[in-house]
């Protein structure tokens, strides 16, 4: 257990050759004599050799690793994004290193520093706001970076996602067209996308001459949060007849709590979410939501990033993959 890791030299010693021959065997067995091949193969199998990437990272400056930063791993929005990323990185031979930062730019900075210190070849970020230091490090590292989910803000280098403001605006308009009079926006610990959605909502309600009604919690989104917010809303604003939530988690929390309290959805209150998680289709009523192209965001992002790692320079700075309004049964 205490033994140190098997190195190429250890293998070479056992078979009585130099590590160079063993190295060749590893890259291309054709290059070594058949008799040597067998010996090396045996030694390799017995000794549990694991290649060490550090020397290569050092001499070539390439790690074949991509750093992926998510605000939180319990935010199910990113499950599909990750699958999309891996659908590209896996066949391309890149390893991804996932980290999360609890929606904090300071923690994001720390994570990025850490990922860069491992010499990742590229970064996928889920945020469009960063600390000064983060920006400096990214510039100094020279690695390509893609920011995902939103396409509004000018990105560091490239953004892949959809227009959150427009999505919320269209959803609000749809709700208005259904006759809801007092629609409220439910926000949570605000990343920029949440605020963009709120803005879309505000634009839509103001356009029809109404005052926005905002509920905003400093907590991270969760179903429990949605449930708590519902209680508050009822206590403070009994005449609200519809709620557009920053995401499906919050919306489902509200919806389940309504059912628990005997409040009818959508008759007493309409509820809509954002992202189109499968879970929203299991509730009754099925949740109205904005279906976002999460898998595709991951996929396109990884393709773009790998292309740029390999020298592509003609990439678009904004790639908007659109969205789709789904009415479900909750509005």
Partner DNA sequence: TTGAAAGCGCTAACAG
Partner DNA sequence: CTGTTAGCGCTTTCAA
Q: Which residues bind DNA (CB under 7 A)?
A: 4-5, 7-9, 17-21, 23-24, 26-27, 31-36, 51-52, 54-56, 58-59, 61
Residue 291 binds: one of DNA, a second copy, none (C-beta under 5 to 8 A by kind): none
Of residues 33, 38, 55, 268, which one binds a second copy by CB under 8 A?
55
Of 206 and 260, the one with the shorter C-beta distance to a second copy is 260
How wide is the angle at C-alpha 113 spanned by C-alphas 111 and 119, nearest 5°? Answer: 110
Return the SS3 of 213: strand
33 binds, among DNA, a second copy, none (CB under 5 to 8 A by kind): DNA
Angle at which helices 77-92 and 294-309 pack, to 10 degrees? 40
Say if strands 324-326 and 289-291 run parallel, antiparallel, or are unpaired. Answer: antiparallel
Least distance (Å) between residue 308 CB and DNA: 21
SS3 211: coil
Site string for a second copy, 289-328 (x = CB under 8 A): ----------------------------------------
Q: Which two tokens stand for residue 101?
A: 């930062």
The answer to the question of residue 87 lying near a second copy (CB under 8 A) is: no
Give which of a second copy, DNA, none residue 26 binds (C-beta under 5 to 8 Å, depending on kind).
DNA
Rank residues 283 and 289 by Cβ distance to a second copy and give the closer one: 283
Cis peptide before 330 (omega within 30 of 0): no
- Among a second copy, DNA, none, what does residue 32 contact (CB within 5–8 Å per kind)? DNA
231 binds a second copy (CB under 8 A): no
| DSSP three-state, residue 128 | coil
Binding to a second copy (CB under 8 A) within 181-220 occurs at: none
Dmax over CA atoms of the chain, in Å, equals 85
Check residue 70 and give left, alpha or beta (phi > 0: left; psi -120 to 50: alpha): beta
């Amino acid at each position: 257990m205490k033994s140190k890791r098997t190195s190429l030299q250890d293998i070479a010693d056992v078979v009585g050759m130099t590590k160079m021959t063993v190295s060749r065997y590893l890259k291309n067995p054709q290059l070594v004599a058949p008799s040597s091949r067998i010996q090396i193969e045996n030694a390799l199998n017995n000794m549990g050799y694991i290649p060490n990437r550090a020397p290569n990272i050092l001499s070539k400056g390439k790690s074949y690793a991509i750093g992926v930063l998510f605000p939180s791993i319990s935010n199910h929005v990113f499950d599909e994004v990750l699958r999309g990323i891996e659908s590209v990185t896996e066949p391309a031979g890149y390893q991804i290193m996932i980290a999360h930062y609890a929606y904090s730019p300071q923690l994001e900075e720390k994570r990025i520093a850490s990922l860069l210190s491992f010499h990742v070849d590229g970064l996928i970020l889920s945020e469009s706001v960063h600390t000064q230091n983060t920006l400096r490090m990214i510039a100094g590292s020279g690695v390509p970076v893609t920011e995902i989910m939103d396409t509004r803000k000018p990105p560091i280098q490239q953004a892949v996602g959809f227009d959150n403001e427009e999505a919320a605006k269209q959803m609000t308009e749809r709700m208005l067209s259904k006759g809801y009079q007092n629609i409220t926006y439910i926000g949570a610990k605000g990343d920029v996308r949440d605020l963009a959605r709120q803005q879309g909502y505000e634009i839509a309600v103001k356009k029809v001459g109404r005052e926005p009604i905002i509920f905003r919690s400093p907590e991270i989104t969760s179903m429990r949060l949605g449930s708590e917010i519902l209680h508050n809303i009822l206590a403070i604003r009994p005449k609200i007849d519809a709620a557009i939530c920053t995401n499906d988690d919050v919306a489902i929390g509200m919806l389940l709590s309504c059912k628990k309290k005997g409040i009818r959805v959508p008759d007493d209150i309409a509820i809509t979410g954002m992202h189109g998680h499968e879970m929203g289709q299991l509730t009754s009523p099925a949740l109205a939501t904005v279906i976002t192209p999460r898998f595709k965001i991951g996929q396109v992002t990884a393709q773009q990033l790998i292309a740029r790692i390999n020298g592509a320079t003609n990439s678009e700075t904004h790639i908007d993959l659109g969205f789709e309004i789904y009415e479900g049964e909750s509005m």
